[in-house]
Structure 1
Amino acid sequence: MRKQVVIGMLGTQLDAGTGSVRWERWRPTVSLGMHEDFLLDRLELLLDERRYAKLARVVCDDIAQVSPETEIRRHDMYLADPWDFEGVYATLHDFLRAYAFRPDEEDYYVHITTGTHVAQICWFLLTESRIFPGRLLQTSPPRKQDGGEAGSLAVIDLDLSRYDRIAQRFERQQLEDRDLLKSGIATRNVAFNRMIEQIEIVATRSRAPMLLMGPTGAGKSQLARRVFELKKLKHQLPGRFVEINCATLRGDGAMSTLFGHTRGAYTGATSDRAGLLRSAHQGLLFLDEIGELGTDEQAMLLRALEEKRFLPVGGDKEVESDFQLIAGTNRDLQAAVAAGRFREDLLARLNLWTYRLPGLAERREDIEPNLDFELERWSREQHRRVAFNREARARFLAFATGPQARWTGNFRDLGASVMRMATLANAGRIQVELVEEELARLTAQWRAPPSPSPLDALLGDKVAELDRFDRVQLEDVVRVCARSKSLSQAGRELFAASRQQRASTNDADRLRKYLARFGLDWEQVKDAD
């Protein structure tokens, strides 16, 4: 038969007692040997020999009296502070690592009735994580302590998969969490649902940064907020949800918006400003379009992520903020790194949990449930019930899920479409005629001409004189200049590859001369759109 081995701590209070009167008290460690349905083959008794050797001798003698077949091994264990969680956990962990377990021959239990509450918690964690390869053993006194009674004994198995109702409860909770991340929409796309399942696990177990990639309107901001709501529901983030689109941060104001400033830091700074990073302390910060951040802001953000500290603009004293970051982008950040527009070390910090949200055109099977969701949301917000008639709904879905529907704006396009039809619906019914008008509007919208070239405003009629090659190249140069803070920064980005091959370089002068070929200068192109 397999041996039964119990590891337990000497109860300095519960196990105490001398003289014959001690047998009138229930003592948990002694009671381990008194149960007819639990044969104790070996007891590993942990104690501080310098302080409790005398008590240990009494307890061991009494166990030998009630259970002669039990082998007792005493282990000297010194705890400087039995209520120090870190110290107790480390001591017990070291004991278990050094212990020669033989799980194929012996069954192991840890006696959690004795020891401080801190020790009991540590035993629980060590058992639940399988560092201790056994089960918890709980003993309790008899109802009437009139001497000689063993009390009760219960084995607690932390393998939750053995408990059907608990397992079902956890599974139901997981489904509810995933439903929250999907806004209650019964999505059908297999890849998207699989991604949401992993995000739910990561969101509840990790505070590491998360990177959400995908086209504009794919739902990055919505998903980030749902992650925050899930973590808030589980009491993991007591702070706020703070959101900013980095594409709106321009010039000197970008630093101040993110990191705050002190009074007098620059002209117009009449009072201190906390900044978004401090506002997100103990909460979640969502930086959408993070690829639009300048390199200086990227460097400050990296330090804030790694050290939880940063300097406000104009400040000489660091401030702290412990926040979780979710970043969103519709850009290829690897390409941005190669072009010198994004810091490689910051991308490495963000790239631990990266998820690409597919566009609506890649999830055509999810258009129908999202259509129902958008219509229900509009009805709830406007306090007016609106619905499709059967023919109108079939017509809209046939178009929406077909190849002619481009959905360039993704869920923003779908939401706007539903809002227009619901607003124009008579008597709360969306008819086929209204759907046909909307489909014509969407088709025209997706066929809209491309945005005008910035060269039209800069060169006017002279654009027609440019060779096609020069026009394409100059348009890209002007767009880089428009989003750069200085001539030097634009030059570094444009000549990132070739500058590595020259011994000395002046990117600003090189760019200035290039622009001059077309009669342009920095002042003209820096604000081009």
Structure 2
Amino acid sequence: MADDIVSVTRNGLRQEARDLVELAASEEAVAELLRRGLDWLTRVVRFDLATLFLLREGKLVAVAARGPLASDKVRRHELKLTDFPTLRQALETRRARAFTQEDHSHGDGDPFDGVLDLPPGHSCMVVPLCAGESCYGLLTLDRTECETYPRELVELVEVYGQMLATTLQETQQKSTLERLHRREHEHARLLEAQLGGDEVGVLETSRSAAVRELARRARQVAETETPVLLLGETGTGKERLARAVHRWSPRAEAPFVTLNCAAIPAGLLESELFGHVKGAFTGATRDRAGRFQMAHGGTLFLDEVGELPVELQAKLLRALQEKTFEPVGSDRTVRADVRILAATHVDLQQAIAQRRFREDLFYRLSVFPLRLPPLRERLEDLPQLCVALLEEQARRTGRRGVKVTAEGIVRLAAYDWPGNIRELANALERATILSRKPELGAESFDLPLRAPGAKAAAEAPPLVEGAVPTLEEVQRQHILRVLTLTQGRIYGPGGAAALLGLKPSTLQSRMKKLGITRLEQYVAVTPNLEES
């Protein structure tokens, strides 16, 4: 049998093990992995048929076959373990076995009886595929010659069977981990949508031409790797826009990681951004990844980037330019593929003049600036924003069916909203808590008719003739605001006449008197107030 044994070195066996592990890691199908495993056996042992059986519900099911005797009938072959005690014993003992002529004569029969016409006493070997606490199946080798495989060869193939079983185990574990990862990713996306709201809908369906143009430009830049600087007052929805840019980008399936640069002490910001190694500082008991590593392959959103300490801005600039950094306490360079979105309400040009912000970092971040208008400049979106914010609130509180009436919208439009969308969300939540009715009318909102911070009447400067608006001008401005809210619609429920408590004919007469004649500028381009 010396001719049956191919000279196989330990290095060759180790190389094959590495190849199979690499195959498993590359997410190839199990069938391809098993095919490779059988092909390699031809270098070790002669056979006319090599068959791989996997355990499935108490049966051994053939999944791959090689050799001159391999056929579709063999590849569909199944064996009940209860009918073959010797095969069951091989699995229980985890030891390979070569069958002799006596075994064929007095054993439990040949596994291929009725499938192949093999002569009595033919060469046969059974190798269990076991790794760890699991057994995955059997490898059988058959030759038509009436010889017994030598013990040395059986031991060699037994080692290979263990190696193949280990590869199967790694493939199975990898498949399970990927399935769990996909499930967790979808779960995270669902939670993100529930907590963060629908950041896309209110942008692209806005009644404000400025907001729709902003959404169009955001979609354009989302397809690139260009850094984006989001500007706007506090509460205007910069993080929502950042999430929309990420969702519109090719990185949508990768992580979206946020860091509020103003919410973390300056001494900890570097560790939060770039991570640290064990022992880097007091309390660093283990290695910890930073936000750059967490966002690898995805998007990193740096909120309030204008509050970043100057000494850390140089390191951020290098990370943006070279996509490399060193964790705190380490001299090892880490590479991270991250798309940067940054936001601030700070005047960065003024901060540069005051040497609080690096000019080179500003130019790196502001390749494509996007400015979000404050809520007072997009009051026509109030109905739509109220619907969206109340839906988000309902997901958190469970109280559904709450809506703002037309009168309530008019009341909200009379306020300047210095806190923008965030303040509007708080006002709606407060009104929902205090109101027992599902409709939130004008009486539900305890808001001043001017913005906080505006001078009260007692603090106002003395009146000067000509500086006080006339009653007609006040009426004109109020009618114009209501027409803007109704998109120029005068008649019907939710129309301007109903909101103002006037007959349509009376309103039209007053509009003519006040010089309001161009209704075409209020023609609706989105659903009307009532439909919202």
Bucket of the pairwise TM-score, normalised by the shorter protein: 0.3 to 0.5
Q: Please, what TM-score do these two structures have when normalized by structure 1?
A: 0.46
Which has the greater radius of gyration?
2
